[in-house]
Amino acid sequence: MTGIMAGKRGLIMGVANNHSIAWGIAKALAGAGAELAFTYQGEALGKRVKPLAAEAGSDILLPCDVEDLASVDAVIDALKERWGKLDFVVHAIGFSDKNELKGLYADTSRDNFSRTMVISCFSFTEIAKRAAALMADGGAMLTLTYGGSVRVMPNYNVMGVAKAALEASVRYLAADYGQNGIRVNAISAGPIRTLAGAGISDARAMLSWQQKNSPMRRTVTIEDVGSSALYLLSDLSRGVTGEIHYVDSGYNITSMPALDTLRS
């Protein structure tokens, strides 16, 4: 297959099913000629990811739970053995106790704060460090964030705090690895109906608000995120690093509800 990703090999972490943002990204990359490896969290999700990996032309499917660092190491070891090097990595992983994705942020428990930070933020740093060791010829890394990191979104709570730390990590990792030709960026996606998205209380209302009030008057799709990811992971963005790139129909630039919404 020819395309702008021909000859490039990368790891996709975070496909749970065909609604996952990571799947939208994988489709765009595979369509542009990239060779992919996938991870899955637990056997139940593995059954869903297996046919998707096959659809993307991949036979590399590895278990990984980022709470278990040994499983992250095993993924990197397997890729080292199979490919010897890595050109890109996609981290589309997030988790928080859904009982704390509602109500007051102030009620966040210490245990869930730590767990949310480790899974949704620090795992990217741990993966980046290991992936960078396989990127002797340079590479690109991408994670997924949400605008609840910089503005208060109802119910997003501790995930907003974790995403703020994740975005700061993107900048620090970009500085760490820039001289090695490794670029580190994030996409800040607008709300999308996914498994993780459904864990946030009133997710439906957030989708409807975005649809009515974003400049483009629509929500975004996993395919919208996929094509922006293709840019950030390909040589088209070779001069870009440390960037938080919004794929949100422009919602982040607004300061008040759309007038047509207010008048209706």
**How many CB atoms lie under 10 A from the CB of residue 101?**
22
Cβ closer to ligand NAD: 175 or 195?
Answer: 195
132, 179 contact by CB (below 8 A)? no
For position 79 contacting ligand NAD by CB under 6 A, the verdict is no
For position 36 contacting ligand NAD by CB under 6 A, the verdict is no
Residue identified by tokens 């199979």 is 82
Which residue among 170, 173, 182, 192 contacts ligand NAD (CB under 6 A)? 192
Q: Site map for ligand NAD, 227-256, x if CB under 6 A?
A: ------------------------------
Which residue among 12, 35, 41, 186 contacts ligand NAD (CB under 6 A)? 41
For position 160 contacting ligand NAD by CB under 6 A, the verdict is no
**Stretch binding ligand NAD (CB under 6 A), from 20-28, 78-86, 103-111, 227-235:** 20-28
For position 197 contacting ligand NAD by CB under 6 A, the verdict is yes
For position 95 contacting ligand NAD by CB under 6 A, the verdict is yes
Backbone angles phi, psi at 83, to 5 degrees: -110, -25
Which residue among 31, 33, 65, 126 contacts ligand NAD (CB under 6 A)? 65
Number of residues this chain uses to bind ligand NAD (CB under 6 A): 27
Alpha helices in 120-202 (DSSP H): 123-132, 157-177, 195-198
Give the residues across from 244 on adjacent strands. Answer: 186
DSSP E strand stretches across the chain: 9-13, 35-40, 61-63, 88-91, 139-145, 182-189, 244-247
Residue identified by tokens 């060791």 is 133
Backbone angles phi, psi at 131, to 5 degrees: -65, -40
118/95 Cα distance (integer angstroms): 9
Cβ closer to ligand NAD: 124 or 177?
Answer: 124
Decide the pairing of beta strands 61-63 and 182-189: unpaired
Least gap, CB of 93 to ligand NAD (angstroms): 4
Q: How far is CA 241 from CA 86, 107, 172, 186, 245, in A?
A: 18, 35, 11, 9, 10
Which residue among 76, 189, 230, 233 contacts ligand NAD (CB under 6 A)? 189
Q: Does residue 156 have an active-site annotation? A: yes
Structure tokens at 132: 């960078």
Cβ closer to ligand NAD: 93 or 161?
Answer: 93
For position 191 contacting ligand NAD by CB under 6 A, the verdict is yes
Of 40, 105, 146, 246, catalytic:
146
**Stretch binding ligand NAD (CB under 6 A), from 59-67, 82-90, 97-105, 131-139:** 59-67
**DSSP code at position 237:** G
232/246 Cα distance (integer angstroms): 12
15/73 Cα distance (integer angstroms): 19
Binding site for ligand NAD (CB under 6 A): 14-16, 20-22, 41, 45, 64-67, 92-95, 119, 144-146, 189, 191-192, 194-197
Which residues are annotated as catalytic? 146, 156
